[in-house]
Chain A
Amino acid sequence: MEEPILRAVSVTRAYHLGETIYAVHDVSLAIDRGEFVLVTGPSGSGKTTLLHLLAGLDRPMSGDVILDGTRYSRLSENGLARLRREKIGFVFQFFNLIPHLTALENVILPLRLAGMSPAQARERARSVLETVGLGHRINHLPGQLSGGEQQRVAVARALAPRPAVVLADEPTGNLDSNAGLALAGLFRKVNQEQGQTFVVVSHDPRLEEFADRVVVMGDGRIRDVRVRGAR
Chain B
Amino acid sequence: MFIGLGVRNAWRNRQKSLLIIISMAVASLMLGSALSLSQGYPANIDIVQRGFMGGDVAVYAPRFAISQADLSGDFTYARLPADDLSALTDLDPELYQEGFLTLSGGGQGYMPLVETADRLSTSRYVRAVYPYYILPGFWSGADKSGTPAPLRGRNPFLDRVYFHYQDTVVAGRYLDTTDEGQMVAVVDVGRQRQGLPLPAVGDLVAVRVPAIRTDASGQIYYDYTASRVFTFQVIGQVSMATRQYSYGSGRDTRSVQLYWNTPQIMIPSSTWQEIYYQMSGGQRVTAVPEMGVILGDLSQANDVAADLQARLPERTVVAVPAHIAVAASRGLPEPLDQIPPEYRPNTAPKWQLGMPVDMTSLIMLVVYLTAGLLAATNMLALLTRRRQEMGILRALGATAGEVVLMIETEVATLAILGVAIGFGLVRIVAIATLVSNQVSAAGIVANTLADLGRVLGVTVVCSLVFGLFPALRAVHMRPVEVLRRE
A and B held together in a complex: yes
Contact A81-B394, Cβ < 8 Å, known A52-B480, A94-B486, A112-B1: yes
A162: chain B residues at CB < 8 Å are: none
Closest to A115 in B: B1
Which residues of B, 446-486, contact A by the 8 Å Cβ criterion? Answer: 478-480, 483-484, 486
In the complex, what's the smallest C-beta–C-beta distance from A17 to chain B, in angstroms?
13
The answer to whether A78 and B395 touch (CB under 8 A), given A58-B480, A94-B486, A112-B1, is no
Q: Which single member of B398, B401, B478 contacts A57 (CB below 8 Å)? A: B478
Contact present for A96 and B388 (CB under 8 Å): yes
Q: Which of A37-45, A82-90, A200-208 contacts B (4 or more CB under 8 A)?
A: A82-90
Residues of chain B within 8 A (CB-CB) of A84 are 395-397
- Least distance between B391 CB and chain A CB atoms (Å): 8
Q: Chain A interface: which size bin?
A: 20 to 34
Whether the Cβ atoms of A96 and B395 lie closer than 8 Å is: yes
Q: Does residue B399 face the partner (Cβ distance < 8 Å to A)?
A: yes
> A92 to B392, alpha carbons, bound, how many Å?
10
Query: 18 pairs across A/B with beta carbons < 8 Å?
Result: A52-B484, A57-B395, A57-B483, A58-B480, A77-B394, A81-B397, A81-B398, A81-B399, A83-B397, A84-B396, A96-B483, A96-B486, A97-B392, A99-B389, A100-B8, A100-B12, A110-B396, A113-B1
Indicate whether A57 sits within 8 Å of B480 (C-beta atoms), given known contacts A81-B394, A94-B486, A96-B392. Answer: yes
**B355: interface (CB < 8 Å):** no
B439: interface (CB < 8 Å): no
Residue of B nearest to A78 (CB): B399
- Verify if A59 is at the interface (C-beta below 8 Å from B): yes
A48-70 interface mask toward B, CB cutoff 8 Å, 1 = contact, 0 = none? Answer: 00001001011100000000000
B398 touches A113 (CB 8 A): yes
CB of A47 to closest CB in B, whole Å: 13
Neighbouring B residues of A78 by C-beta, 8 Å: 399-401
Interface residues of B in 360-409 (CB under 8 A from A): 388-389, 391-401
Residue in chain B with minimal CB distance to A94? B486
List the 9 closest A-B pairs by CB distance, nearest first: A85-B397, A58-B480, A84-B397, A57-B480, A78-B399, A112-B1, A57-B479, A96-B392, A52-B480
A residues in contact with B393, CB < 8 Å: 98, 109
CB closest residue in chain A, given B8: A100
The interface centre, meaning the residue of B391, B393, B399 with most chain A CB atoms within 10 A of its CB, is B399
What residues on A are CB-neighbors of B389 within 8 Å? 98-99
Which residue of chain A is the closest to B12 with respect to CB atoms?
A100
Closest CB in chain A relative to B17 CB, distance in Å: 14
Against B, the Cβ 8 Å flags (1 = close, 0 = not) of A98-128 are 1110000000011011100000000000000
A109 touches B396 (CB 8 A): yes
Establish whether residues A86 and B478, one from each chain, have CB atoms under 8 Å apart when the complex forms.
no
Provide the bound-state CA to CA distance between A50 and B398, in Å.
Answer: 22
| A88 / chain B contacts, CB cutoff of 8 Å | 397
Complex contacts, A96 vs chain B, CB 8 Å: 388, 391-392, 395, 483, 486
Chain A residues with CB under 8 Å of B483's CB are 57, 92, 96
Residue B392 contacts which of A77, A98, A114 (CB distance < 8 angstroms)?
A98
For residue B399, which residue of chain A has the nearest CB? A78
Chain B contact residues, CB within 8 Å of chain A? 1, 8-9, 12, 388-389, 391-401, 478-480, 483-484, 486
Question: How many whole Å from A122's CB to the nearest CB in chain B?
Answer: 12
Binding site for B on A (CB under 8 A): 52, 55, 57-59, 77-78, 81-86, 88, 90, 92, 94, 96-100, 109-110, 112-114, 157
Among candidates A58, A92, A97, A110, residue contacting B397 with C-beta atoms closer than 8 Å? A110
Q: Please name all residues of chain A whose beta carbon is closer than 8 Å to the beta carbon of B8 when the two chains form the complex.
A: 100
- How far does the Cβ of A82 sit from chain B's closest Cβ, in whole Å? 6
- With most chain A CB atoms within 10 A of its CB, the pick from B392, B396, B400, B483 is B396
A78 to B394, CA, bound (A): 9
CA distance A59 to B477 in the complex (A): 12
**Whole-angstrom distance between the alpha carbons of A31 and B333 in the complex?**
93
Decide: B478 and A113 in contact? CB cutoff 8 A. Answer: no
Inter-chain CA distance A90–B398, complex, in Å, is 14
Query: Nearest Cβ in chain B — how far from A230, in angstroms?
Result: 34
- The answer to whether A77 and B398 touch (CB under 8 A), given A57-B483, A96-B486, is no
Interface centre among B400, B478, B486 (most CB of A within 10 A): B478
**Distance (Å) between the CB of A110 and the closest chain B CB?**
5
Chain B residues with CB below 8 A from A157, complex form: 396
- The docked-state distance in angstroms from the alpha carbon of A55 to that of B480 is 10
Shortest distance between the CB of B260 and any CB in chain A (Å): 64
Query: Nearest chain-A residue to B403 (Cβ)?
Result: A81
Contacts of B397 in A (CB 8 A): 81-86, 88, 110, 113-114
- In the bound complex, what is the Cα–Cα distance between A78 and B1 (angstroms)? 18
Complex: how many Å from CA A92 to CA B478? 15
In the complex, what distance in Å separates the CA atom of A170 from the CA atom of B399? 26
Instruction: Give the CA-CA distance A77 to B400 in the complex, in Å.
Output: 8
Question: In whole angstroms, what is the CA distance A59 to B480 when docked?
Answer: 10
CB distance from B452 to the nearest CB of A (A): 31
**Distance between Cα atoms of A157 and B397 in the complex (Å):** 12
A77 and B486 in contact, given A84-B396, A90-B395, A113-B397 (Cβ under 8 angstroms): no
Q: Provide the bound-state CA to CA distance between A163 and B396, in Å.
A: 12
CB neighbours (8 Å) of A86 from chain B are 397
Residues of A within 8 A of B388 (CB): 96
Q: Could you say which residues of chain A place their CB within 8 Å of the CB of B395? A: 55, 57, 84, 90, 92, 96
In the bound complex, CA of A42 to CA of B127 (Å): 90
B83 to chain A, nearest CB (A): 78
A112→B398 CA distance, assembly (Å): 10
Q: How far is the CA of A110 from the CA of B398 in the complex (A)?
A: 9
Give A97 to B479 CA distance when docked, in angstroms. 14
Decide: B478 and A59 in contact? CB cutoff 8 A: yes
CA distance A85 to B396 in the complex (A): 6
Per a CB cutoff under 8 Å, which of A58, A77, A94, A113 touches B396? Answer: A113
B391 contacts which chain A residues (CB < 8 A)? 96
